[in-house]
Structure formats: structure tokens, C-alpha cells
Amino acid sequence: MAKKTNIPSMKSLGRKWGGTLDQNLAANQRFSADTDPKKINLGVGTNVGSDGKPWNQASAFPASLSQLVSNIGEVCGSYNPATDVQQAAAEFVLGQQLKLPSSIWNQCITSFTAGGGSGAVGRAIDFVTAQHGDIRHLNLQQYAWVGYDSIAYNRGLETRPIPIELTKLPRKGLDVLQTVHNGSGLLVPGKNWKQAGKILTHRDQPVILDIPYTGFDHAGLPYDEALNRSAEPLLTLVDAGAPVVVGFGPTKVFNTFKYRPGGATVVICRTEGEARHARNRMISNARGGTGFIDIATYALMKAMAENPEGLSSDHAAILQRLHQAEQDWAKYAAGSPLANFFNSGYGGLFRILPVQPGTVEALAEQHIHVVYVDKRLIRINIMGLPHGDQTEAVVRAISSRCTDELPKTLRPFAV
């Protein structure tokens, strides 16, 4: 009898996967395939100029990176940025961006990581789950940013939905909450943050705030005021005494898309003892990841330390551009249901709109590209609206597809 040979199946790196690629990727492919020179991209999550092209007017981060590259011989030989650069960069994030009072800075552990805001949120999750082995899932606000799915999946965690307005906070799992909700643009009222702060403090339950859009929720206000208002949800949780970890993302606020420097993970401790343990834990967490800073992140940290005014001025310019787009939508949508998405209950780059079925395809025929959330909902990046000849036609094209059938979970909150 012939001897049976065991042939290896060679599938272990390519096992069947039941998932689908997200709609954002599909929309990008459709946009790239469109050859019309006047095509409009409302599908991507990027900053867009008034000419409809990716916004490229930031100068502070590019200048810092270019200087580092030209001095490259000097940086070789050392792993980490000098302590004074790290300290100044951390203070920039804590004070200038997050508006945390300086009295608590020495109880905050700030860790810079690679990979934009995604890296910062990922490190925040790893920091918490390393100490709470019972956490098996993330609690995410409904209709949240699709990137959370892979952040969870890569860590073997499940995801569960919670109401956007935070009226139910489960005891189990790790809450990852947004202060500017991508995708709906809905802003959670202050009283709901207050209630959440009370509950999380009482349970001593860690919460992650994902903050890649400082100021985007109040883009029409003067710069300092916009940042102060934007920090209110975080300060409300901190004042209540809740155990908060922030994932601070730089990509949108300083327009660092192309080189993807990392953001900062900030652990806001309540006592010196908690901070001492958190510091050691963070060093240990960082060691096996991107504990040593890459050049793009170092360039951003140097800009924070040496040119904070330059970063703030880039940031202010992006907020102005966002506000210009908000005003254009409000103006040309006036009198239609679309106008309701541009009142004070909304903010940030994105909106989820109720539409007739077939809308993505119908708009693509008109060279306007948007993302499906489901058959009757689309997500748009409002900054993708060019300011000029096409503005009115684009707003009207979107408005003509809108219905008034917004699902209950996406309706504006009572303030």
C-alpha cells in the first residue's frame, strides 16, 4: 500500500475572511477612476482647500521636518529626543491643545507614538487593557468612525454600540468616545458629559477620549475660544474625577497627512501614586511598540517645542477654511432639510445625511463622490465643497437627494 503523504495546506497566512473593505476605500477608488477634471470629493476624511484640492498651506510641520532632514547627521546616534523637547512638546499638547490646567500637568503621562491619531488611540487602548485583562470589547458611539473596527480587530477585541449622546454607558468593556463625532457631526450636550463623568468616576471605570479634531466643533469662533470650547467635554470628565486617557491626533489639526507623524497618548492621573505606576506602565507598553520616536514624529515634537505659534497659525487657518465651507453649505441649503445639519448642534468635518436609495451612484454620475453608510444614509466631508463657481450646484445636488428620514439614533439631541 502506498504510503500516505501529508501535503501541507499552505493557507495559514491567507485564511478565508468574511469581512468587506469599508466604504471609504470603495469611494476613493471611484473618485480615482473618474476622469472629469471638475470632479468633487466629499468622500475622504482630509482637509480640502477652497479650490477643492487637498489643503496644503500648513508650514510649521513641513519646515520642522525639512530642517531635521537637512541636519540628519546630527540626529543619528541618539534614540530619543532630548528631554527638554519632549517636555515642551508634552506641555504644548496638554496646555495649548487640550487646555488642561498646569496644576495637573505633572500628574499627566504623555507618550508620543507613531501613526497619527490612530496610533495614539491604539496606544491608549493598549495602556488600559494591559491593566484590565477583563476588557474584551470596545464600547463605541453608533455610526462612529469606521477605523475603530480594525483598531479593535487587530487587538482581538469586539465592538459594541452605545448611543451617540452617551445616555447609556455599560459597566463592561472600554468606552472610546469622541468629542467631535465622525461621522454624524453631532455634538454631545455638556450636561451629558457631566452625567458621564459622574458615572465613570463612581465606577472608577477608565474611558478613552479620541481627540483628533481640536477646535473643529467650534470652527466659527476666534481661535482661542474655539479651542477652549472644544476642550469642555474633556475638562468636564477630568473635573468629575474620571480616569481619562486621551488619544490626541495631529493629522487634521496641523495638516500632517503625508508624513503621518504620531500623536500623543495622555493619561490623566488623579494622584501621584497613580501617576507613578502609570508612568512605568507606559514606558513598558511603549517599549515593544514605537517607543523610540521616528523622524516625522520628532519633527512634529520639535515644532511643538520651538514653533508653537506656527502650528497654531496653521491650525487657525484650517478652522477658517472649515468655517467657510460650513457657511457655504448653510447659505445654499437654506430652506431645505439639509440646512438643519449646519446649526449649533453640529460641528466638525463630517455629516451623515438621509438620502434616497441609489444616491452614491447618482451623484457619481454628476462627478460628486460620497460614501455610503447604508442604503439610505451617506457620509460627506463638508470641507470637500469648493468655494467658487461650483459651490451652489454641488449643495443643490446633495440637497435634491436628501430625505427627512433620519434614524432616531442620529437625530439632534435636546440641549
Ligand X SMILES: Cc1ncc(COP(=O)(O)O)c(C=O)c1O
Which residues sit at the interface with ligand X, rule CB under 6 A? 45, 116-118, 121, 145, 147, 178, 182, 210, 212, 249, 251
Single-letter amino acid, residue 170: P
Residue 351 phi/psi, 5-degree rounding, is -140, 145
Single-letter amino acid, residue 9: S
Distance of CA 249 to the CA centre of its chain: 6
Number of Cβ within 10 Å of residue 160's Cβ equals 13
The CA R_g of the chain, rounded to the nearest whole Å, is 22
DSSP at 176:
E
Measure the CA–CA gap between 108 and 100, rounded to whole angstroms: 10
State whether residue 104 is helix, strand or coil.
helix
DSSP state string for 37-94 = TT-EE-SS-S-B-TTSSBP----HHHHHHHHHHHTHHHHTT-SS--HHHHHHHHHIII
What torsion, rounded to 10 degrees, do the Cα atoms 114, 208, 321, 57 define?
-10
The residue whose Cβ lies closest to ligand X is 116
Cβ neighbours of residue 397 closer than 8 Å, sequence gap 6 or more: 363, 366, 368
For cell 474611558, what's the residue? 207
CB-based contact 107:319 (threshold 8 Å): no
CB-based contact 107:275 (threshold 8 Å): yes
Cβ neighbours of residue 346 closer than 8 Å, sequence gap 6 or more: 184, 185, 186, 187, 412
